[in-house]
Amino acid sequence: GLPLYYRQNVIGGPNAFLLVVQDFKSFADAMAQKLAKEIDVAGQAGERRVSLLGSR
């Protein structure tokens, strides 16, 4: 299916990952999870950390 195609042909590189959503409703949650994971990985790599407004 589509996730297999993306794993084999689209995503790649260090820390690459794929999130699969089942419906449009779960898309927003998946995007928030993706953003949080990308920020976490960037912080672990020693890159500039990102602060979200209202977070401590």
* Structure-block tokens of residue 37: 């994971």
pLDDT at 23: 92
5 in Cβ contact with 18 (< 8 Å): no
* Structure-block tokens of residue 38: 């990308």
* Residue 8 clears pLDDT 60, i.e. is over it: yes
Between CA 14 and CA 26 the distance in angstroms is: 26
* Residue 17 clears pLDDT 60, i.e. is over it: yes
pLDDT at 27: 94
Whether this prediction's pTM lies above 0.85 is answered by no
30 in Cβ contact with 21 (< 8 Å): yes
pLDDT at 16: 86
What are 38-51's pLDDT values in tens digits?
Answer: 888 777 766 555 55
User: How many helices and strands in the chain, by DSSP H and E?
Assistant: 2, 0
